[in-house]
Amino acid sequence: MATNRRDFLKISGLTLGLSFIDTKSAAAPLLKRFGSNKKQKMTLSFQLYNLKLKHTFTVASNSRTTTPVVLTQIEYDGIVGYGEASMPPYLGETQASVTKFLSKVDLSPFSDPFQLDEILAYIDGIEDKNTAAKAAIDIALHDLTGKILNQPIYKIWGLSKNNTPNTSFTIGIDTPDIIKEKTLEAGNQYKILKVKLGRDNDKEIIETIRSVTDLPLCVDVNQGWTDKKMALDMIYWLKERNIVFVEQPMNKENPEDMAWLTQHSPLPTIADEAVQRLADVKSLHQAYSGINVKLMKCGGMREAHKMIELAHALNMKTMIGCMTETSCAVSAAAQLSPLTDWADLDGNLLITNDLFEGVKIINGKVTLNDRSGIGIRKI
Ligand code: MG
């Protein structure tokens, strides 16, 4: 389904109404226009959209075939930056909550989109939580500022696209025959695979995958192991089978057991559910070897960048992950990937109705392009 821009809700100052945003003038000479004396304003608009999943997505509590998102645009001086909020149901945000949040946003006091610190501090202060809604603003502002400067964000941050990691691709929980089939298929395209563990058949799943591939694997336990000694035994067993790291092995509310496990573990332990925002990182550095940073958890690219820098300063490993998202939010996350040890950026590959083209996975590697902003174009 193509985007109908007339469906975008436009918010200018405190007014709210249906409108059509003309993006054609984006091709005008950008810096010249930006340098004009005419007072410009930023205009936020957004659209609800449902991502269709290629395969039914199953977690312990439910199965689903769609993921709701909200797509944002911030327009300034004829240039449009795109953003996105993705709301998998287990994270607590919905299209209704994001709509409510975005309807409170008033960008009129800010003179231009380069006031990122001030704008994002204001956004963060509107209401607690709502990190996906906040990310949708943050991503659009980054896309917009990059477009005005006519450079990709990774270049503005001084990063090299040569330093991007391989992305892992997740093999879903399934019957052994289907796991083998999916592993063989993914093994042709990816250099590292990710497997969900934490049920009662962990060894069986690993052995099934190991019967068809020697590729490095990472495992995500999603807090599923309850006993630290059993967890350590399992990690030793996994180490013998070329596992790279173990994500969120135990309950996030149990930092003492996690610290013991990390201290004894022969493999890096990575916090996912246990880490959301910048303020969480410092307290985790004894309990985990690294963190999985996701834009929808932390409120966007600017905070994600700070989290990764802080983690490195604390000698922790870093990983950039995503939710099920279009190429908009995934490409935004990918701008950070040259900074990280690992990437798990397969969210846009799991849907059939992407609205954007952006970051690509080529021979398993996150491959950034030279487009300005977050590197996307509408398709
Ligand atoms: Mg995880």
CA of 195 to the centre of ligand 1 (A): 10
Distance 157 CA to ligand 1 centre (A): 26
Measured between alpha carbons, how far is residue 73 from residues 117, 152, 203, 267, 272 in Å? Answer: 19, 18, 46, 42, 29
SS percent in the chain: helix, strand, coil, step 5: 40, 25, 35
Distance between CA 115 and CA 194 in Å, rounded? 38
Distance 219 CA to ligand 1 centre (A): 9
**Ligand 1 mean position to 107 CA, how many Å?**
34
Q: Are strands 243-247 and 192-196 parallel, antiparallel or unpaired?
A: unpaired
d(CA 307, CA 173): 31
Ligand 1 centroid, distance to 272 Cα (angstroms): 5
Q: How many angstroms is it from 110 CA to the middle of ligand 1?
A: 36
Distance 196 CA to ligand 1 centre (A): 8
Specify the pLDDT at position 211: 97
Please give the Cα distance from 320 to 222 (Å, whole number). 16
Q: How far is the CA of 325 from the centre of ligand 1 (A)?
A: 15
Q: What is the pLDDT of residue 9?
A: 57
CA 244 / ligand 1 centre spacing (Å): 14
CA of 367 to the centre of ligand 1 (A): 22
Beta-carbon neighbours within 5 Å of ion ligand 1: 220, 247, 272
5 C-alpha vs ligand 1 centroid, how far in Å?
Answer: 34
Name the E strands within 24-139: 42-58, 63-76, 79-86
Radius of gyration over every alpha carbon of the chain, rounded to an integer in angstroms: 21
What Cα–Cα distance (Å) separates residue 349 from each residue in 98, 114, 296, 300? 24, 31, 17, 21
State the distance from the centre of ligand 1 to the C-alpha of 40, rounded, in angstroms.
42
How do 356-357 and 42-58 pair as beta strands? unpaired
**Distance (Å, rounded) from C-alpha 151 to C-alpha 146?**
5
Residue 29: per-residue pLDDT: 44
Ligand 1 mean position, distance from CA 146 (Å): 30
Which pLDDT belongs to residue 162?
98
Find tokens 């950026």 and name the residue: 345
User: How far is ligand 1, taken at its centre, from the CA of residue 104, in Å?
Assistant: 31
Contact status, residue 72 vs residue 46, Cβ threshold 8 Å: yes
Helix runs in the chain, H state only: 30-34, 95-103, 116-126, 131-149, 153-156, 176-187, 202-210, 228-239, 255-264, 278-284, 295-298, 301-313, 327-334
Tell me the CA–centroid distance for residue 188 and ligand 1, in Å: 23
Cα(78) to ligand 1 centroid in Å equals: 39
Give the distance (Å) from ligand 1 centre to CA of residue 125: 27
SS3 260: helix
**220 CA distance to ligand 1 centroid (A)?**
6
Low-confidence ranges of the chain (pLDDT < 50): 1-6, 11-36
Ligand 1 centroid distance, CA of 12 (Å): 37
Residue 374 CA to ligand 1 centre (angstroms): 24
Residue 148 Cα to ligand 1 midpoint, Å, equals 35
In the reported structure, the alpha carbon of residue 292 is separated from the centroid of ligand 1 by a whole-number distance in angstroms of 7
